Amino acid sequence: MLIRMSLTLFLILCFPALALAGGFQILEHGAVSTAMANARTAIADDISALYFNPAAMSELGGFQFEIGVTGILPIIDYEPAGNPVPPRQYPSYENGEYVFKEVNDGTNAVGAKEKLFTPIHLYASYNLQDLGLSFGYGLNNPFGLGTFWPGDWDGRFIATETQIQTFFNQATVALDVAKLAGFKDSLKLSIAIAYDVVYATALLGKKVDLRAAEAPSLGTIMDPEAEMSMRGTAWGQGFNAALYAELPGLLAAGVSFRSGVHLPFSGKADFSFNQSAREASDLLHIVIPDETDGSVDMDLPATVNFGLAFLGVSNLVVAADVYLAAFSSYDEIELKFDCVSKGTCSDSLNAGPIEKNWGTSVQVSLGVQYTLLDALGLRAGYGHITSPVPEGTYDPSLPDGERNIFSVGLGWRASWWKIDLGYMLAMWSGVKDNDVGAGDNNNPEGKANGTYRTTTHILALSLSANY
């Protein structure tokens, strides 16, 4: 039992660790794109093209600069599926005899704590038109967000806090092929390549179930729970390649590829124990330090987006995009604690890789932009996004699902500056009906099976200048 108990403890530490590798991919990297549901791959009128299609910056003259922030407020609710029949039980000891207690799991509806996330975007480019070269720099947060659940909810042994931030520093050079070849009046054609330096931070918080000690303690230890908090950082690198083509005044097309990024996270895990939990770990001969260094590798997905834009009506742009994110790179995770190699904690804490087996996420977006008086831009969009998370490994650390997004926005352009505002409403739900968080017959943990519904409000503001 003790070996299985130690392995179970490892699993509850490792299953949700950084399970947010793609649960929340962020595409809202500018107010213009947010207002058009991110249908921007084939449009070359805003410097946010540095993210959506860096080749399109060849169509922007002189010096371009943009800075902005996006406020993202997810509202997540958990509707429990109810206890199974017969209910799950675990052995305990009460009133001088051994008993089996029911696991109170799947019966307590709750909402996650609301927290505002604020990814940033910064872009700058300079076009050497005579040479057909453009240079650009971008900074944004393409992967991130998180969840913050109450400390006493059904899934507290899976996750209480999960958060990731990624900072992509992108240096780009674009070549105006049409300019250099002399056919720009009949066909605009540009290519670009970019290099990314990525910095990432991650946080994982959860409770640790030690109720396996209740029965052998003859009731002197009751409801023992410990708490773990782990923080880590990582550096990585990647590259982009893009192409932009346009039949002037009629139709534009674009494609942009972004490589995957390997992130070797390292950090420190802190464990806290109440009196019952400390006594339980001693009784069960499970050695867990107050703190230890740890590491885990994570692979962000490679992505590719395609776009078409109709330009045949004056002041009107109609665009359609498809985004593919290959989350199949997130096939497993393996968390390693340094204390194992040093012999200061239980060997079973390093128990091997845990399968995740994510798939590909697809987003289809439609966007429209109409400009009044050459100054006021009116925008709207709709998109649908599929979830990469399979049913068998779905968990509440970052609950995903089939999403629908609706967006609107506007912008004002003056002679050398502009301001843009975009709002997006995103809604999705997912059902957890698996054994993630099941524990065993002694340490029951909590599966928190049920329906997870998310409504997210997104508001983006961008300020731009050109010279």
pLDDT digit string, tens, across residues 312-337: 999 999 999 999 999 888 777 777 88
CA–CA dist 102, 154 (Å, integer): 13
Q: DSSP string of 228-286?
A: EEEEEEEEEEEEEEEEEEEETTTEEEEEEEE--EEEEEEEEEEEEE-HHHHHHHHHTT-
- pLDDT digit string (tens) for 337-366? 888 888 888 776 666 677 788 889 999 999
pLDDT in tens, 238-255: 999 999 999 999 999 999
pTM for the whole structure: 0.90
Structure tokens at 174: 């674009």
Q: How many Å apart are CA 260 and CA 191, to the nearest integer?
A: 20
> Is pLDDT above 90 for 425?
yes
CB neighbour class for 360 (10 Å; exposed up to 12, middle 13-18, buried from 19): middle
Least-confidence region, from 84-88, 119-123, 382-386 = 84-88
Segment holding 167, helix H or strand E: strand 161-176
**pLDDT for the residue numbered 15:** 33
pLDDT of residue 312: 95
Phi and psi at 116, nearest 5°, equal -90, 125
Location of structure tokens 């003790």? 2
pLDDT over 70, % of the chain: 94
- Top-confidence range, 202-206, 396-400, 421-425: 421-425
Residues 459 and 422 sit within 8 Å (Cβ to Cβ): yes
Retrieve residue 399's tokens. Answer: 């609950």
Which residues 6+ apart lie within 8 Å of 111 measured at CB? 75, 76, 77, 78
Instruction: Give the CATH number of domain 2-466.
Output: 2.40.160.60
Confidence category of residue 235, pLDDT binned at 50, 70, 90: very high
